[in-house]
Amino acid sequence: MKNGSSPKAGIPAKGFATGGLRAHYTLLICSLLLMMYFINWYLFGVALEPMKKDLGFSDTQAGMIQTAFLLSIAAFSFPNSYLVDRWSRRKAIAGMAVFWSVFMYITSLGQNFWGVFIPRTLVGMGIAGFSGAAAALVSAVYPARLRARIMGIFNAALPIGAVIGVMLGGYLSARHGGWRTPFLVFSVPGILLGVLALFAKDYKTVVTMENRGGAAGFFSTARHLFGIPSLRWVYIGYGFQNVLAFTFVVWVPAYLMRRHGITEDVAGMTVGTIGLMAIIGAPLGGVLADLWQKKNQRGRIIMPSITIFIGSVMMVLSVLFDLKGIGMVFGILYGVIAIMGVPALSSITQDVVPPGLKAASWGMSVFCMYAIFGAWAPAAVGMISDCLGGGIDSLQLAIMGSGIGGLCAGLCFLRGARSYPEDLKRVQHAVLQDECSTE
């Protein structure tokens, strides 16, 4: 390869063996850790209101804690994923799981704003890069023709984690010692799963020009990823999409507690029911995306544009009607539809890049989903709520305004569809090597 050329992986003499028992083990461990990732996520939303009352937070301060958590993920996701592609995915996954679980426990010890703010930010640092390493590993250990549906199974851990986080987390908070208890309880399985991740199947690290380039290689990789047109629009769309998602996760449980005067376990049941619907949406979306891709070269990227358009409308209507009666129906539809495009988007981040950039590509998508608007949503909603008076109606309006993010996301995905077939063709001959291969 000539110096300055784009990253490209060669075709090894012996390919990477996909499928089998270790592939299933890898999918299981990575999915369980992704579940713990989202337990952490959704737990904070259901613990937010009692935490605020206990420690005396304003809406702005409460939003700032979660925004700092998200920005720490944004700041470290791409650098961590870049390093993962040059080291070992399974070892990195193990280390990150233990790190974030330790600081999740420390969060439970917080006695004031900074006592929660700092460890919560460090939890974000630990989580950063995990999803990139896990997505690269899971997408690689199965054949490409199954990629979207495997990513659908992998992403199904999201709603399961969400349900456990809000339902069990809310129950533990309301019935067994307050908001600190679930942070303590859920830190333990993360450490155990981190150890088990050391036995996952991994592929051989690919040596490219960027591996050897130090800081120059890092920025060259970033430029290369953003130089892929369809990928660039997926990254930007991810950022807009998560304005909607992050607002729902952080603020809807608190809104329900204020509007209906319920405790965190009851609010957790409501939000958890909506999250549970994504167990249907994620695998279904992956299967439909694969089927559509067979009939239309752009099917895999068009589908998430449609689902996020519809999902945004469903979310706004659910909050408008206070998630009661018809509002709950809209909420359930949001839970099914909004997640349907995520397996396809996850697959696209892997489809259009060579093997040596798979984790980096996912890491960049994580960076963009947080740094481009998404991470700012919790703090922005809190500030808007305080500026409008800090009451129930103020919070409702602030939450509903996040629907604009979903509409912008859909437009971005449609724009990326124009170049997706050409971007796929550029990497269709690249294959992987087994981690133990010397060829």
Tell me the three state secondary structure of residue 63: helix
The yes-or-no verdict on residue 187 having pLDDT over 60 is yes
Q: Who contacts 292 (Cβ-Cβ below 8 Å, separation ≥6)?
A: 299, 300, 302, 303
Residue scoring higher pLDDT (237 or 203): 237
Residue 107 within any structural domain of the chain: yes
Q: What is residue 404's three-state secondary structure?
A: helix
Structure-token pair, residue 187: 């830190």
Place of tokens 């939450």: 399
Average pLDDT over the chain, rounded to an integer: 83
Give the per-residue pLDDT at 165: 87
127 is a domain residue: yes
What is the rounded (10 degree) CA torsion for 336, 337, 339, 342?
A: 150
DSSP one-letter code for 46: H
Q: Is 405 domain-assigned?
A: yes
Is the pLDDT reported for residue 206 higher than 70? Answer: no
Query: Which is more confidently placed, 145 or 394?
Result: 394
pLDDT 10s digits, 125-136:
888 878 778 887
- If one counts the domains in the chain, the total is 1
Sequence-distant (6+) residues with CB within 8 A of 176 are none
In a domain, 7, yes or no: no
Q: Which residue has the tokens 């604009």?
A: 404
310 in any annotated domain: yes
Separation in Å, CA 392 to CA 155, 210, 269, 324, 437: 33, 51, 20, 16, 60
Rounded to whole angstroms, how far apart are CA atoms 107 and 119?
5
Share of the chain above pLDDT 90, in %: 31
387-406 average pLDDT score: 91
**pLDDT greater than 60 at residue 191:** yes
The residue range of the domain holding 394 is 21-202+212-426
**Phi, psi torsion values for 203, nearest 5 degrees:** -105, 160
237 or 14, greater pLDDT:
237
Tell me how far apart the alpha carbons of residues 203 and 18 are, in angstroms, rounded to a whole number: 10
**pLDDT for the residue 217:** 64
Residue 33 lies in a domain: yes
Instruction: Assign residue 307 the CATH number of its domain.
Output: 1.20.1250.20
With a cut of 80, say whether residue 378 has pLDDT above it: yes
Task: Report pLDDT for 12.
Answer: 32
In this predicted structure, what is the pLDDT of residue 17?
55
Specify if 16 maps to a domain.
Answer: no
User: What pLDDT, on the 0 to 100 scale, is given for residue 379?
Assistant: 87
Q: Is residue 111 part of a domain?
A: yes
